Chains A and B, each alone.
Chain A
């Protein structure tokens, strides 16, 4: 059961970012039109391309994902570890996150923070932008801290039991988050905020980029792991079966604590000032972090097969048809299943990005947004949509209106995002840059930079982006109508997330505690980051301003 005094916080943390996401999605669709040269302006309806793109990145990839991870964490932790969550911490965390978001939104929409969601110095934003981001992150920390005493109590009261897998996943997510946000907090508090307030002359840019990308890769695991919790804990049950391997579930989450951080240099292959040897070390670790995802692919496929066979599935592959792909009672299933299908392509294209020298072909081209819309806007986003609907309607004791439409949404999104990405992958291989309003130059027939060969990819992207926009409209139709439906107190009280049993229920000592994994993670970070840090600090880069 989800803790009663958390209900209001959870609903707020789900609906507040989704409301902002209306703008995120609106501008996503505009971006594909600008990029296809169908809008040849610097701005549309008063919003400039780069202002809108900043909002698109910040809202979709930072605000929505962080709020969701916290809200879903409250639900999972309080369901699996009893009513153990500090409601006061939850409320304080939510308040900080909301205030932080609003404080950052001010300068973004006032056009005083056109710096994109990576805020690379020495491009300068209004100080409130950075301060808002800090408050948002601190709010997520406070929410996490509110789970820790309850967890420790649970461990004491259940000395012989394994911690429930969902809680292991959520704690792993936030342990990673806590570790990786410290350097970016340093970048914001020590480098960027004093400088944007005019207190310091400039920023050591090379250092700030190293700190940012220390955070940037684990950030993607922070996005992804809540979806993994759904895949391991909820999906096998929806498929009518069991989780194939409980051990792998635990091992995967704990392995991410060690492996998700010491590899950020794979985002900096194209940069000066860092030795190629250190970049190679991070490449090796990047391929190691593929291992838990490969194990996940295996475990989840095996779990789905188990479920399908319980439903009467036969044959080598024919059992696929016995999964609840279109079952309106289990409408959540395709949000998770299709996310995994999308993730196959997201993962494969990620291998290209991570492959050291091969990165030079696609770095900062439209290949990149094509790739990460198959990850963060694929499995992550579909899990967020599905679970936000499931949770908000569930804890409020409402019911899903139009479940058939709810089932169709992930299909529409999948078609859209595959089309979108196909166009942008194609363009990326032809050298189309990302983060660029192409209609102003490369896709303007009158410009001497005109590239007719880039047109087709961006057109395909525009078609896909429009289909994605349609899926978002359908989603809000179902969400709003469902939230407006009649409330049943009894239903709200009995609401719980589905939980799967394990088929292989191993109990391996090594995956019982977080501590050894955290220690290993810290050691891995020290080994991989101290040498480049010494190199960067030793070179004494000048402080620069814009």
Chain B
């Protein structure tokens, strides 16, 4: 039996269509990342893992939050900023792996012991946002949370 490498035309077209679909999706992602600047956390080396959590006011409307996650709380766990503030969140963990998600924002990070994670958020509406630990961190996990208050 000779090797017959003729693949029917329909099948080739389907392969082409599938590849085009994948390329189109990637194109959209690239557009969001490059043109709109919506990306994912990266490896940062300029901030060493910190021991103490704190909220630093860098300038009016500009904050840096150093968040330490530790079973079962965040430090600081009540963050107060005024409306329109931009906050840089640096997140690490002092013990096991935790999550750090701020409700109704795109801040969604893992808190890993030994490493520092980063995301930025802008708070344009007055009100309260919940901070949640969304990675299982043993028995008290369902009560590990914090708040961000945006004052008018």
Contact = CB atoms under 8 A, between A and B. Distances in A.
Interface of A: 42, 48, 50, 53, 114, 116, 120, 122-123, 160, 204-206, 209, 245, 247-248, 269-277, 279-280, 283-284, 287-288, 290-291, 294-295, 298, 351, 355-361, 363-365, 431, 433-438, 440-442, 449, 451, 504, 506-510, 535, 539, 541-542, 544, 546
A441 B43 contact: no
B29 A270 contact: no
The 5 A-B residue pairs with the shortest CB-CB distance in the complex, in nearest-first order: A433-B134, A272-B117, A294-B18, A276-B42, A287-B22
B3 to A, nearest CB: 5
Contacts of B99: 364, 433
Nearest to A290: B22
Contacts, number: 199
Interface stretch (B33-41, B56-64, B80-88): B33-41
B59 to A, nearest CB: 25
Interface string B90-101: 010001110101
Given A205-B97, A206-B112, A435 B136 contact: yes
A298 B142 contact: no
Nearest to B109: A270
Contacts of B21: 290, 294
Given A271-B41, A355-B25, A546-B96, A509 B5 contact: yes
18 contacts: A50-B138, A122-B95, A270-B41, A272-B91, A272-B110, A272-B115, A273-B115, A274-B42, A279-B40, A287-B23, A358-B29, A358-B32, A363-B101, A440-B142, A506-B5, A506-B8, A507-B4, A541-B114
A360 B130 contact: no
B50 to A, nearest CB: 13
Contacts of A204: 114
A270 B101 CA distance: 10
Nearest to B28: A355
Contacts of B4: 506-508
Main secondary structure of the interface of A (DSSP, over half): mixed
A539 B114 CA distance: 10
A290 to B, nearest CB: 6
B104 A295 contact: no
Contacts of B39: 276, 356-357
B149 interface: no
Nearest to A53: B136
Contacts of B28: 355
A440 B18 contact: no
Nearest to B45: A539
Contacts of B101: 363-365, 431, 433
Contacts of A245: 8, 11
A535 B26 CA distance: 25
Interface of B: 1, 3-8, 11, 14-15, 17-19, 21-23, 25-26, 28-29, 32-33, 38-45, 91, 95-97, 99, 101, 103-104, 106-110, 112-118, 130, 132-139, 141-143, 145
A41 to B, nearest CB: 11
A115 to B, nearest CB: 8
A123 B29 contact: no
Nearest to A359: B40
Contact of B96 (A122, A357, A437): A122
Contacts of A248: 11
Contacts of A451: 130
A442 B4 CA distance: 63
B134 A276 contact: no
B36 to A, nearest CB: 9
Contacts of B136: 50, 53, 116, 435-436
Contact of B112 (A271, A356, A504): A271
A357 B5 contact: no
Nearest to A540: B114
B5 A508 contact: yes
A205 B130 contact: no
Contacts of A270: 40-41, 108-110, 117
A172 B99 CA distance: 36
